Amino acid sequence: MDVKIWTYIVVGLSFALYIGIAIWSKASSTKEFYVAGGSVSPISNGMATAADWMSAASFISMAGMIAFAGYGGSVFLMGWTGGYVLLALMLAPYMRKYGKFTVPEFIGERFYSKTARIVAVICLIIVSVTYVIGQMKGVGVAFSRFLETDYNTGLYIGMGIVFFYAVLGGMKGITFTQIAQYVVLIFAYTVPAIFISLNLTGNPIPQLGLGGSVADGTPLLEKLDKVIQDLGFNQYTTAVNGNKLNMFVYTMTLMIGTAGLPHVIIRFFTVPKVSDARLSAGWALVFIAILYTTAPAVAAMARLNLTETIQPGRVGEATGSLEYEKRPEWFKNWEKTGLLKFEDKNRDGRIQYYNDQDKTFATKAAEYGWAGNEMTTVDNDIIVLANPEIANLPGWVIALVVAGGLAAALSTAAGLLLAISSAISHDLLKGILRPDISEKKELNASRLAMVAAIAVAGYFGLNPPDFAAGTVAIAFGLAASSIFPVLMLGIFSKKMNRQGAVAGMIAGMSVTLLYVFQHKGILFISSTSFLGSMEPNWFLGITPNAFGAIGALVNFAVAFAASKTAADAPQEVQDLVESIRVPSKD
């Protein structure tokens, strides 16, 4: 059967499953809509959290980023998992004990301030909207590449599915769908990885295959190091991302950013008990780790396969490079999407793929008669999506990967949309504008807010702003520099007052935004950047994406300084903090 039919079948079945779950799990109260009634078991919540957390970026892009960054790509692996340790130890149990519905609600009550709540809502909305745009784009791309519909149709179908289960079921519907989506996505990720590991190293477990040996007996990683160094690239196992300090700060930013993402935090409101919240964070990381320990294997193996396909013979010999006319089928498919581009610079009809930025190798390349790297575009995202094709796997595996990518994007989008809509209906409407609204009306309002959030996300998906790629930096930077520190202060500093919290949040956010904007342009319009995105201008060589941790430090410092100008938090607030620190009711 051909790939397209397989894809229709697999994607169609997975969508039917999500819709079935939606009908079965309709929410009938605000508690069900916001926190699934607070009755989700720790393992189920762990699985849902894993799907919620692992987005199109984790599923589609991450292995590709690692494939081309080598060791430097470790910042994503450690950053996006290490955050769960912080979440489990410093946030989840206390948020669960507090036991209400949203993150801004906690911030507003803990800092006895509507201003704090509004600032938190603004941070939450900026973070979640920028994040959701990427998911919508992922859905559109997956559809247009594999089902050969146009991008917009794909997006409408995706929006329709999310609309159905998120509006109807709220957190309850989202939770059960996310469990199903986790199963789909993890299966889709690991099956091709197992096949490829088996082909390349004879070991079916990718995590072990990464340390295994290839057919000629050399260890895989040693072989990869040699193959790419022969083409002037940095050694895979030691290539650093920027400099050491940058890697340090970047990892920290991703960790505390992860712990500060509201759509992840609210998942811990859904379990019955404090001890369940701790356990649930552990299960979430187990389910995440299955993908995250597989990704580096996928990355290294794909890089080796890709390089050896294009450079099958000895480097420098005329016949060593692949003839363009003999390029494999997957190469042609991806050329059509523009994610893979070839330009025959020296007009020899063969593909030379090497690092032309490397000075010493460039002289050698000139001797070979090479006129520059001819693979002018190799997009990160094709690594996972093209992997089954590169390894010649059967059609149903390719179809599975498409369904997995869609599951990853849709599950994250739904979680984000819920965080946005609950911030609007629960924090802004019920909390500030109309405190006397009835539960039934609030439930309707939350559904309306969900519809609005889907429409906004869809609009940005249809008209992706140029800055879509850069916004992930903002999402993590803001979560790290505003939401995470204020929650820490709220739990661990009993006397912290509202003056400190509000000043800290605003300072952390401003410093981070300013740093990103001064290098990438105000609102990402590059002509307005007054420092330019160049290495010499970076503060201690820290890239804008990595700056959130510095913003968090500023947040803490300003919060403590500002808190000294006013009285400590009132006694009843300190009592609240005392009570959330212990699991039991007394």
Partner 1 sequence: MENQNTLPSRRQAYWRANIRILITLLSIWFIVSFGCSILLVEQLNQIEIGGFKLGFWMAQQGSIYVFVALIFAYVRLMNKLDREFKFEDSE
Query: Which residues of the shown chain bind partner 1 in the complex (CB under 8 A)?
Result: 66, 71, 73-74, 77-78, 81-82, 84-85, 88-90, 93, 97, 207, 210-213, 219-222, 237-238, 244, 247-248, 251-252, 255, 272-275, 278-279, 281-282, 285-286, 289, 292-293, 296, 578, 581-586
| Residue with Cβ nearer partner 1 (90 or 451) | 90
Q: How far is it, in rounded angstroms, from Cα 221 to Cα 209?
A: 10
Least distance to partner 1, CB of residue 363, Å? 28
Q: Which is nearer to partner 1, 289 or 437 (CB)?
A: 289
At closest approach, how far in Å is the CB of 213 from partner 1?
7
- C-beta of 212 vs 464, nearer to partner 1: 212
Q: Which helix (H) or strand (E) holds 17?
A: helix 3-24
Shortest Cβ 91–partner 1 spacing (Å): 12
Query: Do the strands 322-323 and 350-351 form a parallel or antiparallel pair, or are they unpaired?
Result: antiparallel
133 close to 464: Cβ distance less than 8 angstroms: yes
Give the Cβ contact number of residue 24 at 10 Å: 11
Which of residues 157 and 196 has its CB atom nearest to partner 1 in the complex?
A: 196
State the nearest-atom distance from the C-beta of 492 to partner 1, in Å: 9
Q: Where are the alpha helices (DSSP H) in 70-219?
A: 74-86, 92-98, 103-110, 114-146, 151-162, 168-201, 206-209
CB of 586 to partner 1, least distance (A): 7
Rounded to whole angstroms, the Cα distance separating 200 from 307 reads 14
Query: Is the Cβ of residue 78 or residue 506 nearer to partner 1 in the bound state?
Result: 78
Residues 6+ apart with CB under 8 A from 536: none
Question: With contact defined as beta carbons under 8 Å apart, do 23 and 45 qualify?
Answer: no
- 131: which residues sit within 8 A by CB, 6+ positions away? 55, 261, 263, 412, 416, 471, 472, 475
Q: Which is nearer to partner 1, 318 or 582 (CB)?
A: 582
Dihedral sign computed on CA atoms, order 352, 356, 360, 363? positive
DSSP assignment, residue 166? Answer: I
In terms of CB distance, is 286 or 371 closer to partner 1?
286
Shorter beta-carbon distance to partner 1: residue 155 or 274: 274
Q: Which amino acid is at 143?
A: F
Q: Which DSSP category does 243 fall into?
A: -
The least distance separating partner 1 from the CB of residue 506, rounded to whole angstroms, comes to 28
